[in-house]
Amino acid sequence: MSAKHLQIAVSVGLIALLSACASMPLEYSASPIDNRAQNTTSPAAATPSPMACEPDIDLATESVLRKLALANEWHTAKQYQSAFEAYESALAEHSSLLSDAYALWGIIALRLDRENPAYSREAAQTAIYVLDQRAQQALTGEASNEARLLWFSAELMIAADASKDQVMAENVQLNKELAQREEAIQRLRELTLGK
């Protein structure tokens, strides 16, 4: 008998929960023309009230997130100009500190991509300066901390890019030394075999 009471209690609870999420029934309107007349006279009647369990969607943030995702995909696909334009478009919206920080971080990564025809460490350093300024604007809070982490990782990207130049220069020097060594070994063989 108690199992039956439990089943009834669960059913009643589910019904109460589902009814809380249900939307209010729409009011009957005689014709669309009557609705337009009501909307012009009463601006409050034109705005529908939100439903009880309807999620609050920030369209500006959604738009920026989509642009950032597209920019990242385009960068991965080596569509550099499209990626740059998407990052700049996301940055121009100023949706939030974090969206600006991620857009700037993306621009920095794009500018430091050696396969990008628009590769420029100077442009990346300018973008990191702007990222630093934006992170300083929000002195406290989670967004500020995350923006600081993005700034720090961008600093590391620039340092790694500079190190890559140094490693490449050292490799050129080592290759020259190896070529000279091979040439010397070849001459020694010729001299030894020639005797």
Contact present, 63 and 101 (Cβ < 8 Å): no
Q: How far apart are CA 57 and CA 63, in angstroms?
A: 11
* Residue corresponding to tokens 């369990």: 53
* Residue corresponding to tokens 């999620």: 55
Per-position pLDDT tens, the chain of length 195: 445 554 555 454 444 444 444 444 444 444 444 444 445 555 555 555 555 566 666 788 888 899 999 999 999 999 999 999 999 999 998 888 888 899 999 999 999 999 999 998 899 999 989 888 888 877 667 777 888 888 888 889 888 888 887 888 888 888 888 888 999 888 888 888 875
Neighbours of 133 (CB within 10 A): 11
Domain range for 152 is 59-162
Specify if 53 maps to a domain. Answer: no
Specify if 102 maps to a domain. Answer: yes
Q: How far apart are CA 63 and CA 112, in angstroms?
A: 26
Residue of 59, 87, 60, 61 whose CA lies nearest to 73:
87
Domain count across the chain:
1
Specify if 28 maps to a domain. Answer: no
Distance of CA 106 to CAs 75, 93, 99, 171, Å? 9, 15, 10, 29
Query: What per-residue confidence (pLDDT) applies to 45?
Result: 52
* Residue corresponding to tokens 């569509």: 79
Q: How far apart are CA 97 and CA 147, in angstroms?
A: 8
Specify if 95 maps to a domain. Answer: yes
Specify if 65 maps to a domain. Answer: yes
